[in-house]
Structure 1
């Protein structure tokens, strides 16, 4: 994994583990799992049973291969970790053993992420043909919710004796949820007033249990299926049980459909979904000729449906821009944007192509000049480049060169407006959940550093 993906997987998996422990569940369904980065980490690091579902057979194959290689390294790290924990339990006092277990888990975590980076190049060789792939009225910034050891120990000890998680950097679900988020439960199930001796005993029992777990106790199963709002999960997962549904940067309509499945299926007790690719969303009122009832990506909530709200593709494309990154770098990729804009004019005027299913992709950095950029683009679009001499290409460049500053100002305006449009799309999803009677709590959680990962908000919800 690159630094961005490592950051996303580490932060999101900690939150998912806290939610799973809070709800007392061990099964996770990861929609749009891709190569299985999040799924395998949840399985190996947190001993969760994870089903990763992706629509691409190539991704499923890649996930299986990657998981097979990863397990070899994981077993070696776990063996060393167990040996270290056993030694510390014998030689040190109880409080010292807890600290060593935390260090041990942190080392495993760091090594697992490092191993992911080392395996990336192998995955690319094995699957060279594969396509890689945010309250109750206010935002909750979980990046600032670094929890205390005591709060996390209380949370986990109340839910599962073998699910204790002693980690200084773990997320605390109690710090994310408001005080009245979940209905009160009996003291027999969640005893909030444990004596210090019993707390210590639970900590030690958890350490020993984790140290003695089988190497194969974690399960991750990659599956191939195209998921829609009507998908029957039991047709895909035969042993479906109470679970949490998650998705890390699920594209287009998959993010809203994740929420629809969550509200409809009683087995799904919680959801944690981070969407992306807003430009791929379907809109009910975008094409006035086709406003037929159906399950559209936008709008979802009752109010926006009644008002007939529509963003349009350009606005949704704008929502994908990264204001924080531009603010840090203090510059826009003006030249590459200019190249792309002039290329559009050339394709329309010289080839009569208005729409195409093909994509140019990221070839600006691989091009030595504007002429080279255009020719590489035409090849990718499967257009005849021979009918266009270099002089003609440069004529277009010179014709529009004086408008480059105008283009920069236009794109800066789009970047500034991007958060407004993204928040509209996210609040639409949140309001959809607020309208449901079976939801105990729902909110938008700022999960990632927006400079590292611009699509940084997770929609989180718990069932009653």
Structure 2
């Protein structure tokens, strides 16, 4: 697999990396900007090198799923291998960093069952690491408080408050989330109070997150929120924290009464422009001394519109990239959300089923174009039909596996033990819902018939039409549409795999632009990109960590 050969330690290096990416992506704009629901209608595979497509249509599904991770096969065309390896070499490495080396002084502990209540494995992994990172950064800049932006149900805020004893402001747009955060905080407070009583260690003041419900629509709104929050209770909590630390014999500092209070902005997967707003507020608000931000939902980013002088935008951020008038567009932003780790984690059955759903959606678009052209012009969304169908498929797959196991046991009693079985890596994407079996069984085992594939497509179409408020008509020739699309269904996997491989590179471009935006401020601050989570657990794992340089802190 390709390894990244680029660096972003300085603004010049970051800009050079960005320019390389932009230059590389230019020839593939048709692949990036393709309206993939028109796969069959517009014969999108014809926009890709014919030799690549012909090669990949014969590949095992699992080889296709590894393409976004940079895996190539020796027998592939040289140009295809060069494309994948060059692309992967420009992707920011998301292998989890050595956290103790990256952040000296980091103290990370496993969350107790009370703090971790309600968290799944992924959330617990994220909260444990991120809260430790935020605490380390907050201590390094001697911040009086932390603002958890987009706090959700307050998991990070509560760990920072109760475990690390930071005064915390939990900001979220949803009032329900605020109520949940407050309710959880009360339960956690009772637990810690009882523990102090049982231990006989004496009572200390407990920090409880202060919840604020607010839609942050601009940098000004977040600045105002920060400035008005750094009063009263927060300052008092910061003073109590210092006293608690002093009582425990830990390093501490007491804020000078004449100094303004300071804060760290933090956000776990702040959606769309919210993560950008945090970075802008960090620069514009003197009270904000540091920021720790993990973005997500790049599809929700706004883009600068030169013609109307729009000032609120999520991409591009840096002056250097803005000066090129570079624009991603909606489909490129959607594509940036694709994760190589998620693709790699799919098993063969899930991969086949995903490609099958894309084929159904493409064929359904042909139905709309032929019978309801007025709807197609409005770019309809039919919702995430794949979820229900995927559950049905998983149930059928499990039942089929049980059936096959029974047949296999029976067959192995009849055949010599040296008859080889077919491994998953030998299975290819033929008919998209075909169940492959042992070679010796194929002649007598019918598997899932082509008619069954059409029935699944028919159900998909009925559901899609219903979602659009259209009553199914017998005049619609679904079988004719499917017969037209089915011969090209095995091209869906190769096309989607090649396109998805561009996703991590587009994400890298977005992340580097944000880093460059900070680096352009010169020596007034230090900033870096740091992959803090295990990407196999949490693929959106790159944090932007930035701190304003304080000469007094450096000399102390």
Q: TM-score, normalised by structure 2?
A: 0.55
Partner of 2:136: 18
Unaligned runs of 5+ in 2: 1-118, 235-260, 394-455, 550-556
1:460 corresponds in structure 2 to 545
Q: Distance in 2 between matches of 1:461 and 1:397?
A: 53
Do the aligned residues in 2 keep the contact of 1:229 with 1:257 (CA within 8 Å)? yes
Q: How does 1:296-311 map to 2 (within 5 A)?
A: 296-311=313-328
Structure 2 residue 329 is the aligned partner of structure 1 residue 312:
yes
Mapped pair 1:233 → 2:225: yes
Aligned equivalents of 1:390 and 1:74: distance in 2?
A: 67
Q: CA deviation at 1:21?
A: 1.4
Q: Aligned partners of 1:57 and 1:376: how far apart in 2?
A: 33
Aligned 8 A contact 1:338 1:404 in 2: yes
Structure 2 residue corresponding to 1:63, chosen from 157, 181, 197: 181
Equivalent pair of 2:185/2:208 in contact (CA under 8 Å): no
> Which residue in 1 is equivalent to 2:360?
339
Partner residue, 1:217: 206
- For the pair 1:256 / 2:374, whether they are aligned, the reply is no
Looking at structure 2, the residues matched to 66 and 398 of structure 1 have their Cα atoms a distance apart, in angstroms, of: 55
* Alpha-carbon separation, structure 1, partners of 2:146 and 2:121: 24
Structure 2 match to 1:450: 535
Paired residues of 1:447 and 1:456 also in contact (CA < 8 A): yes
Q: Distance in 2 between matches of 1:235 and 1:22?
A: 21
Structure 2 vs 1, CA of residues 237 and 341 (structure 1 numbering), >3 Å: closer, same or farther? farther
Q: Quick check: which has more Rg, 1 or 2? A: 2
Q: How does 1:6-405 map to 2 (within 5 A)?
A: 6-76=124-194, 83=199, 212=202, 214=204, 217-227=206-216, 228-231=218-221, 232-234=224-226, 237=229, 239=231, 241-285=261-305, 290-329=307-346, 331=348, 332=351, 333-351=354-372, 352-355=375-378, 360-361=383-384, 362-366=387-391, 369-379=456-466, 381=467, 383-389=468-474, 392-405=477-490
Aligned residue for 2:64?
A: none
Question: 1:147 — aligned with what?
Answer: none
> More displaced, 296-305 or 431-440?
431-440
Q: Shift in Å at residue 403 of structure 1?
A: 2.3
- Paired position in structure 2 for 1:422: 507
| 1:257 Cα offset (Å) | 0.9
Partner deviation per Cα, 1:8-27 (whole Å, 9 max, x = no partner): 11111110111111112241
The 10-residue stretch of structure 1 (322-331 or 238-247) with the greater mean CA deviation from structure 2 = 322-331
3-state SS of paired residue (2:544): strand
Contact 1:32 1:53 in 2 (8 A): yes
CA distance in 2, matches of 1:31, 1:357: 33
Selected match of 2:516 from 414, 418, 431? 431
TM-superposed CA distance for 1:72, in Å, is 3.9
Post-superposition Cα deviations, 1:1-47, rounded to whole Å, max 9, x if no partner, equal 11111111111111011111111224110111112121122112111
Q: 1: CA distance between counterparts of 2:195 and 2:389? A: 42
Tell me how far 1:376 sits from its aligned partner: 3.6
Deviations 1:192-218 (A, max 9, x none): xxxxxxxxxxxxxxxxxxx5453x512
Indicate how the Cα distance of structure 1 residues 388 and 47 shifts in structure 2: closer, same or farther if over 3 A, else same: farther
Q: How many residues align?
A: 330
1:387 is paired with a residue of what secondary structure?
coil
Query: For 1:344-400, what per-residue CA distance to the aligned partner results, in whole angstroms no more than 9, with x for missing partners?
Result: 444455441444686613443345733333444444x4x224234597445434432
**Aligned with 2:219: secondary structure?**
coil
- Answer 1 or 2: higher relative contact order, Cα 8 Å, separation at least 6: 2
Query: Compared with structure 1, are the counterparts of its residues 219 and 413 closer, same or farther at alpha carbon in structure 2 (3 Å cutoff)?
Result: same
Unaligned runs of 5+ residues in structure 1 are 87-210
Q: What root-mean-square deviation, in Å, do the aligned CA atoms of Structure 1 and Structure 2 show?
A: 2.7
After superposition, the Cα gap between the structure-2 partners of 1:238 and 1:28, relative to the gap in structure 1 and judged at 3 Å, is: closer
Deviation (angstroms), 1:48: 1.3
